[in-house]
Amino acid sequence: MDVAILLYEGFDELDAVAPYEVFRTAAAFGADVDANLKTLVPSERVTASHGLRVEPDDVLIGTPDLVLVPGGGWNDRSENGTWAEVQDGTLPERLATLHDGGATVATVCTGALLAAEGDLLEGRPATTHESAKDDLREYGVDVRDDRYVDDGTVLTAAGVTAGIDLALHLLERECSPGVAEQVADEIEYDHTY
């Protein structure tokens, strides 16, 4: 499974880094998973919402099996983050194109608003950070209170740490329950399957 974790200015650190660690740990155990940090445009460094500076692996070219989109910066309407990316429109449009091309799209926290803006969530069950659920409903989404929602080719996770649950679920779904359990044990995460 080729996983592209899509970074943009103002993304929430844990939304991206926690799933990255889950996927990379699975790969270290021999699972067929390759997770990388990607951007839409060439960038030597991306600054996250709490100031962490990250050097992405590459620009997103082609269509990976899975695109994981972190949230961040929605509720305070930051000049960087999901709010700014929705206003710009490029990232939501690209998510729609990637999904149309066969990629599974997974979001963490307010990353769901980016998928919603790309018309990937209308009429679907989905979740996001508790504080953004009303905004998500405005897109015609069937908002749920679950840690994560798997609707086939579009998956969403609730706030921040729910990205770990989502990533473990994806390992269980795409690799095996054993791989997910092994990774959960390694990172000492109490995950209910």
Cα separation, 92 vs 99, in Å, equals 11
Q: To 10 degrees, the CA torsion angle through 102, 191, 188, 57?
A: 10
pLDDT at position 192: 65
The CB density around residue 145, as the number of other CB atoms within 10 Å, is 9
pLDDT bucket at 162, cuts 50 / 70 / 90: very high
pLDDT, tens digit, for every residue of 98-153? 999 999 999 999 999 999 999 999 999 999 999 999 999 999 999 999 999 999 99
**Which residue segments constitute the domains of the chain, with CATH numbers given?**
2-186 (3.40.50.880)
pLDDT, tens digit, for every residue of 15-73? 999 999 999 999 999 999 999 999 999 999 999 999 999 999 999 999 999 999 999 99
Predicted confidence (pLDDT) at residue 170 exceeds the cutoff of 60:
yes
Tokens of 69: 């989109």
pLDDT at position 191: 74
Predicted confidence (pLDDT) at residue 193 exceeds the cutoff of 80:
no
Predicted confidence (pLDDT) at residue 93 exceeds the cutoff of 70:
yes
Q: Helix, strand, coil % (nearest 5) of the chain?
A: 35, 20, 45
Tokens of 131: 């504080």
What average pLDDT does range 166-186 have in this prediction?
A: 97
Number of H helices, E strands in the chain: 7, 11
Buried b (16+ CB within 10 A) or exposed e, 13-38: bbbbbbbbbbbbbbbeeebebebbbb
Element (H, E) at 91: helix 90-100
3-class DSSP state for residue 40? Answer: coil
pTM, rounded to two decimals: 0.96
